[in-house]
Structures are given as structure tokens and as C-alpha cells.
């Protein structure tokens, strides 16, 4: 109920913050997160970060305020404790006044109401004395049909002495099997006065059988019960996660088991969260259950929880044969691996675990092998990946090479074809040219011959021509000289008959069209004629023509 008080305080603080900031309360911090704080009362940032719902961000925002609230609460509750201790001191003094001589002389006895007195008594039994273990024999049991039990607990040596006991439904649920009249058992109980009757009774929290034989019977019974409930069934059990890195280790830090486990685990780079618990004794059961719960509340859950302890006598395994522990194991969200005791030891916890190994060493070996298998799997996959890539690479490389080869071939073929065609063509052309040259040669050759002949012919003609010319010239010369002579002669003769001499005598010559007119018939009427006189010329018009 103390948790309730701090929880209420935290909730009030949060709601006030929500009201002032206008945010929804759950947006600030969830009820769950507050409950975890109330339950665990974290003292440091690390403590906070291990709680679900508490991240770095939340802690930075609200951590200090929450820490203050916790501190305030703890101081107050200490004061309360001190206050109640004060009453206790008073009570102590009341009970044994002889103990403190000085105090007594000045001590004035306080007066309590009945209710106050009963509260003091109950406070002493509940808070100061707490749980007490008592050995005895069970008397008649009543009230079971209603879900709880009343019975008397007798002193074994003296059956006259007994005390009233009450066992709640919860107690019956776990320990009901041991509740049988006449059984010798050890009970764990807290005493209290019942206000209405003033009757003192023990509230029984736990019942344990006495002796190995009784324990074995109890073990078998529990085993049958849990087997029926399906705790051990293979279908319920989870396999180890694929990759285990974070290990929640539940064991005693001083036991042999932790060394065996760590030594055999190998260096796999594990992150180990040790939950140091009592592995035997009265607190073992509770501390193991709490450890399982705490590990399940971690913000980042461990991959597995390993529950181990070394070998020991049957009493050492009490906590590992507890129904409550078995319940915590099957309720765990994180798979639990167990390695409890020696080879032959069978425990309820082991049977309930998801993976059970005979010893801490065997549990460590399993984890080591698990990691090795994973490694070889990864190596295999890696090799496959490499091969696949190489194949892919080669395939692509070949394809591209093939294509470029094809391309080259194709072009080369084209060029060859063209080359061939060109070759063929040029050959043809060459032949054609050759033929042309041949013909040309023939023509020119003929021409040359002809030309030569023509030259010769020409030369001869020229020679002839020249000869003729010379002959002609000499003849012409001859002729000329003859003609000249004749002309000279003629001139002298002519001079005697020069017409001009005649003209001087009164004659004239008529010319028509440059020709001397010899007859009158040559001229017509009205015609212009030229008359030449010895000293000049005149143009005359014919007026009249007369024939003789």
C-alpha cells in the first residue's frame, strides 16, 4: 500500500502538470510508467532508464521532478517510521520498565485508546516482527469450501498449546496441498489482532512440509498439477531467439554457477544483466520472482533470461521447486533458459523453463553453440552471396562482351562487303581504263603514223611548191623584164600618139561611166556625161541626139 501512496502523489503531480500545460495526462507520462516508479523507487538516471516507458527524453524532462517527489516521500515515510518507532519505544518501556532505569524515573506512562493500543500491537507484529516461521502440527481445518481456511496450529511437544491461524485464498492456491490435519509443517505467518474480537491470530502466508520425504511427495504433487496446467508442454515453450546478445542472468553473484556459466559462455560480445538473487533460503523464492519481473520490465528486453544455480542438497532447491517461481517463469515475456543443479536434479523451475539444461555449464554451452551455428549460417549465406554476385558479374560481363563482339563483327562484315564491292568495282574500272588506254594507244599510234606520212607529204609538197615558186618567180621576172622592155618601147611610141596632144588640137573625149563613148548610140537624151578636155573636164547634159 505504500506504493499506492507515492503513486497517488506522482499522479497528482502529473495531472497538475497536464492541467497547466494543456497536454493530455497520458501524453506526459503513462499510469504504467508512474506505477513502475512507485514500485521500484528509482534513485538514479540508470534506474529510470531500466523502466518501461522511461526513455532519455522523458527522464530529461521530468526525471528531476520525479526524483524530488520520491526523495520527499522517502523522507516523510522515514519520519513516519521514526514516529511509530517512538511509539514502540514507549511500548518497549512499558513492557520492560527495568531496562532503562534513568528513563523510568522520568517516564510518565501515556494512555492509549483501545484502538490506538491495537494499532500499536499490530504495527509491532506487522512491521517490526514481520514474517515469522513457526513449526508445528496442523489441527482441524475449516472454511475451505468458502475458499479460505481457519485452523489451529499445535505445538508438537505439547498439544495443549495452540494458536489460531488463517490462510487466505492466495495462500491456499499455492500451499493448499500441504494443509492436511495432522501434518507437521513449517508456516510463515504474520500475527495480528482482529479489531472486532480482539482475538489474536496468525495470517499464514506460506506452508512448507518438513523432511525430505514430505518434500518429495509435495514435489510430485506440484509436478502433476503444473503438468496438467500445461506448464511443461512443448507447445508452450519458446525457442531461443535467432540472435542472442542481451542476457538477463539470474543467479547469486557469489555462487559457483555464475563462474561456470561465464567461463563456458565464450567471448560472444554478450551484454549480461546480472540479477543478483538469493538462490536458497527464505528470500530465494521472492527474489527470483522479482528478478524475473524486473528483467521483463526493462525498456529494452533481454533476448533471453538465464536462471542458474549450482548443485546442492534438496533443501537448496526449495525456491526452484516453488509454484510461484514456476508461474513467474511461464509468465515471462522473455524466453527463460535454465541450468539448475547437477545432472540428475529435476526441478519445477527447470521443467517450466523454455529451455532446460542439466547444469549452468550446459546452459552456457548451448548459448555458445547457438552463436556458433548462427555464425556458420551467416558465413554460409555470405559465401552464397559472394558466389551469386560473381555469377551475376560474369553473366553481365559476358553479355556485354558478346554484344560488343557482335557489334564489331556486324560492322566488320559490312565494311568487308563494301570493300569487296568496291574492289570489284575498281577492278572493273581498271579494266575499263586499261581498255580505253589500249584503244587510245591504238588511235594515237595510227595517228602518229599518219601524221608522219603527212609530214613527209607536206615536206615534198613544200619542196615542189618552192621549186614551182622559184620557177614561177624567174619566169615572172623574165616576163616582167620583157614586159618592161615592151612597155618602154610602147611608151616611146605612145608618146607620139598621146591623146592629149590631140585634145589640144580641139578634140575632146566623152566618158560615160568611165568609159569612152565611141558611138552616139551609147548615150540617151538628158543623160549626164563627162567630157575631157586637154586642160580639164566638164559634165555635160545631152539635149538632143542626132544620128548621121
Partner 1 sequence: MKESGQELKGDFEKLKEIVAKLDNADLDLDESLRYFEEGAELAKKCFGKLKEAKNRFEKIKISMEENSLED
* Cβ 388 to partner 1 shortest distance, Å: 11
| Residue partners of 172: CB distance under 8 A and separation at least 6 | 144, 147, 148, 149, 179
Residue with smaller CB distance to partner 1, 129 or 418? 418
Q: Which residue from 406, 500, 501, 524 is in contact with partner 1, where contact means CB under 8 A?
A: 406
Q: At 99, give phi and psi (nearest 5°).
A: -65, -40
Place of cell 492436511: 180
Q: Given the C-alpha cell 519520519, which residue does it identify?
A: 79
Which residue, 79 or 397, has its beta carbon nearer to partner 1? 397
| Alpha-carbon distances, residue 263 vs 146, 274, 275, 497 (angstroms) | 53, 15, 18, 181
Nearest distance from residue 409's CB to partner 1, in Å? 9
How far is it, in rounded angstroms, from Cα 287 to Cα 293? 10
Q: Taking CB under 8 A as the rule, does residue 425 contact partner 1?
A: no
363 and 343 Cβ atoms separated by less than 8 Å: no
284 versus 367: smaller Cβ distance to partner 1: 367
469 sits near partner 1 (criterion: CB under 8 A): no
Of 5-13, 52-60, 102-110, 381-389: span binding partner 1 (CB under 8 A): 381-389
Selected binder of partner 1 within 198, 269, 496, 514 (CB under 8 A)? 269
Shortest Cβ 402–partner 1 spacing (Å):
9
User: Smallest distance from the beta carbon of 249 to partner 1, in angstroms?
Assistant: 21
Least spacing, CB of residue 387 vs partner 1, in Å: 11
Q: Which is nearer to partner 1, 414 or 486 (CB)?
A: 414
CB of 75 to partner 1, least distance (A): 50
- Smallest gap from residue 370 Cβ to partner 1 (A): 15
Binding mask 383-402 for partner 1 (x = CB under 8 A): ---x--x---x--xx-xx--
Task: Provide φ and ψ at 123, rounded to 5°.
Answer: -60, -40
The beta strand positions in 34-182, using DSSP E, are 132-142, 149-154, 162-167
- Torsion sign, CA atoms 60, 64, 66, 70: positive
Element containing residue 306 per DSSP (H, E): strand 304-309
Instruction: Give the binding range for partner 1 (CB under 8 A) out of 404-412, 457-465, 488-496, 509-517.
Output: 404-412
Q: Angle at Cα 221 formed by Cα 218 and Cα 222, nearest 5°?
A: 85
d(CA 471, CA 252): 165
Q: How far is the CB of 245 from partner 1 (least distance, A)?
A: 14
Binding test (CB under 8 A) with partner 1, winner from 418, 429, 464, 482: 418
> Is the CB of 15 or the CB of 398 nearer to partner 1?
398
Strands (E), 178-291: 184-193, 200-209, 246-251, 271-276
Whichever of 400 and 473 has its CB closer to partner 1, that residue is 400
**At its nearest, how many Å lie between partner 1 and the CB of residue 382?**
6
Of 2 and 263, CB closest to partner 1: 263
Strands 304-309 and 184-193: what pairing? unpaired
Beta bridge partners of 516: 511
Q: How many residues does the chain have?
A: 548
Q: Would you say 165 and 189 are in contact if contact means Cβ atoms under 8 Å apart?
A: yes
Is 404 a binder of partner 1 (CB under 8 A)? yes
Instruction: Record the cell numbers describing residue 396, joined without a space.
Output: 553481365
| Residues in binding contact with partner 1, number by CB under 8 A | 24
Q: Out of 75, 159, 170, 379, which residue is the one contacting partner 1 (CB under 8 A)?
A: 379
Those residues whose C-beta lies under 8 Å from the C-beta of residue 302, and which sit 6 or more positions away, are 246, 247, 248, 273, 295, 334
- Of 53, 268, 312, 499, the one binding partner 1 (CB under 8 A) is 268
Q: By CB under 8 A, tell whether 464 contacts partner 1.
A: no
Cβ contact 531:509 at 8 Å: yes
Q: Does 434 bind partner 1 (CB under 8 A)?
A: no
Closer by beta carbon to partner 1, 380 or else 446: 380
CB of 261 to partner 1, least distance (A): 19
For partner 1, what does the binding mask look like between residues 338 and 377, x meaning CB under 8 A? -------------------------------------x--
Record the cell numbers describing residue 232, joined without a space: 511443461
Q: Give yes or no for a contact between 55 and 30, defined as CB atoms under 8 angstroms apart.
A: no
Q: How far is the CB of 394 from partner 1 (least distance, A)?
A: 10
Residue 389 C-beta: closest distance to partner 1, Å? 5
Please enumerate in sequence order all residues whose Cβ is within 8 A of that of 209, keeping only pairs 6 or more positions apart, or say none: 178, 183, 184, 185, 186, 215, 217, 218
Cβ neighbors of 504 (< 8 A, separation 6 or more) are 534
Interacting residue with partner 1 among 16, 83, 415, 473 (CB under 8 A): 415
Least distance in Å: CB of 270 to partner 1? 12
Smallest gap from residue 379 Cβ to partner 1 (A)? 7
Output 2 or 406, the one with its CB closest to partner 1: 406
H or E element, residue 509: strand 509-512
Cα maximum dimension of the chain:
233
Q: Is residue 2 a contact residue for partner 1 (CB under 8 A)?
A: no
* Residues 336 and 354: beta-carbon distance below 8 Å: yes
> Between 404 and 485, whose beta carbon lies closer to partner 1?
404
**Residue 364 near residue 260, CB atoms below 8 Å:** yes
Q: What is the CA radius of gyration of the chain?
A: 75
Question: Of the candidates 382, 501, 524, 537, which one interacts with partner 1 according to CB under 8 A?
Answer: 382
Which residues of the chain form contacts with partner 1 (CB under 8 A)? 267-269, 375, 378-379, 382, 386, 389, 393, 396-397, 399-400, 403-404, 406-408, 410-411, 414-415, 418
Amino acid at each position: 500500500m505504500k506504493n499506492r501512496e507515492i503513486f497517488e502523489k506522482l499522479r497528482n503531480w502529473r495531472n497538475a502538470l497536464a492541467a497547466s500545460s494543456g497536454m493530455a495526462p497520458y501524453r506526459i507520462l503513462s499510469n504504467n510508467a508512474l506505477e513502475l516508479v512507485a514500485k521500484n523507487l528509482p534513485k538514479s538516471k540508470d534506474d529510470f532508464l531500466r523502466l518501461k516507458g522511461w526513455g532519455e527524453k522523458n527522464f530529461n524532462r521530468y526525471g528531476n521532478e520525479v526524483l524530488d517527489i520520491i526523495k520527499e516521500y522517502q523522507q516523510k515515510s522515514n519520519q513516519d517510521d521514526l514516529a511509530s518507532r517512538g511509539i514502540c519505544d514507549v511500548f518497549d518501556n512499558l513492557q520492560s520498565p527495568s531496562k532503562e532505569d534513568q528513563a523510568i524515573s522520568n517516564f510518565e506512562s501515556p494512555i492509549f485508546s483501545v484502538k490506538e493500543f491495537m494499532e500499536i500491537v499490530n504495527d509491532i507484529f506487522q512491521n517490526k516482527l514481520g514474517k515469522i516461521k513457526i513449526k508445528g502440527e496442523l489441527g482441524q481445518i475449516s472454511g475451505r469450501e468458502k475458499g479460505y481456511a481457519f485452523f489451529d496450529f499445535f505445538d508438537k511437544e505439547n498439544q495443549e498449546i495452540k494458536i489460531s491461524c488463517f490462510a487466505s485464498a492466495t495462500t491456499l492456491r499455492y500451499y493448499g496441498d500441504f494443509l492436511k490435519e495432522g501434518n507437521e509443517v513449517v508456516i510463515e505467518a504474520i500475527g495480528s489482532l482482529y479489531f472486532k474480537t480482539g482475538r489474536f491470530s496468525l495470517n499464514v502466508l506460506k506452508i512448507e512440509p518438513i523432511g525430505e520425504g514430505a518434500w518429495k511427495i509435495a514435489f510430485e504433487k506440484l509436478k502433476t498439477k503444473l503438468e496438467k496446467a500445461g506448464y511443461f508442454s512443448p507447445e508452450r515453450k519458446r525457442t531461443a531467439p535467432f540472435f542472442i546478445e542481451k542476457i538477463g542472468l539470474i543467479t547469486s553473484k557469489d555462487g559457483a554457477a555464475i563462474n561456470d556459466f561465464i567461463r563456458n559462455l565464450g567471448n560472444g560480445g554478450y551484454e549480461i544483466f546480472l540479477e543478483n538473487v538469493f538462490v536458497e533460503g527464505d528470500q530465494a523464492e521472492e527474489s527470483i520472482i522479482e528478478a524475473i519481473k524486473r528483467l521483463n520490465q526493462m525498456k529494452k528486453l533481454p533476448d533471453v533470461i538465464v536462471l542458474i544455480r549450482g548443485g546442492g542438497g534438496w533443501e537448496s532447491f526449495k525456491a526452484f521447486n516453488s509454484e510461484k517461481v514456476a508461474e513467474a517463469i511461464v509468465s515471462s515475456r522473455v524466453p527463460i533458459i535454465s541450468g539448475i543443479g547437477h545432472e540428475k536434479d529435476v526441478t519445477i523451475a527447470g521443467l517450466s523453463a523454455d529451455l532446460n539444461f542439466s547444469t549452468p555449464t550446459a546452459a552456457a554451452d548451448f548459448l555458445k553453440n547457438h552463436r556458433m551455428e548462427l555464425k556458420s549460417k551467416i558465413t554460409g549465406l555470405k559465401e552464397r552471396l559472394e558466389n551469386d554476385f560473381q555469377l551475376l558479374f560474369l553473366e553481365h560481363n559476358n553479355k556485354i562482351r558478346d554484344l560488343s563482339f557482335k557489334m564489331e563483327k556486324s560492322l566488320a562484315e559490312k565494311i568487308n562487303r563494301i570493300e569487296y564491292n568496291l574492289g570489284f568495282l575498281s577492278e572493273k574500272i581498271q579494266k575499263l581504263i586499261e581498255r580505253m588506254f589500249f584503244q587510245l594507244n591504238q588511235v594515237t599510234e595510227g595517228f602518229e603514223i599518219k601524221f608522219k606520212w603527212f609530214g613527209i607529204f607536206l615536206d615534198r609538197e613544200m619542196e615542189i611548191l618552192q621549186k614551182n615558186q622559184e620557177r614561177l618567180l624567174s619566169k615572172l621576172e623574165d616576163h616582167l623584164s620583157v614586159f618592161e622592155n615592151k612597155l618602154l618601147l610602147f611608151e616611146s611610141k605612145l608618146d607620139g600618139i598621146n591623146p592629149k596632144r590631140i585634145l589640144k588640137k580641139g578634140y575632146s573625149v566623152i566618158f560615160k561611166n568611165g568609159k569612152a563613148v565611141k558611138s552616139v548610140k551609147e548615150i540617151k537624151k538628158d543623160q549626164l556625161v563627162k567630157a575631157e578636155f586637154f586642160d580639164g573636164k566638164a559634165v555635160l547634159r545631152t539635149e538632143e541626139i542626132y544620128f548621121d
